Amino acid sequence: MSETADPLVLDFVEWVSREPRAYAEVIATWKTSCPRLTIWEDAADRGYVARETRPGVGLIIAVTADGEKLLQTHRR
């Protein structure tokens, strides 16, 4: 994990930490037309969030143990 946290990635992980989010909700809420702003993809690549399939719910995005550590380290 990097010494400094990307503020937008941290915002995203905090948002997901409130409750697991449906994949469609994540895409709709965090999509961008700028190819340089890949916030939720960056969070997934860094291991802060993961895709999970839950019976009866479908594909969701949830915070991982590394994501929880990030939030504890950088809690505002």
Q: Is 65 helix (H, G, I), strand (E, B) or coil?
A: helix
For the chain, 76 residues long, the average pLDDT of each consecutive 10-residue run is: 71 93 88 74 93 91 96 84
DSSP class per residue in 8-59? HHHHHHHHHHTS-EEHHHHHHHH--S-TT--HHHHHHHTTSEEEEEETTTEE
For residue 66, give the 3-state DSSP assignment.
helix
CB atoms within 10 A of CB 30: 20
Tell me what pLDDT residue 18 has.
94
Q: What is the CATH number of domain 7-73?
A: 1.10.10.10
pTM listed for this prediction: 0.82
| Count of CA atoms in the C-beta half-sphere (13 A) of 68 | 6
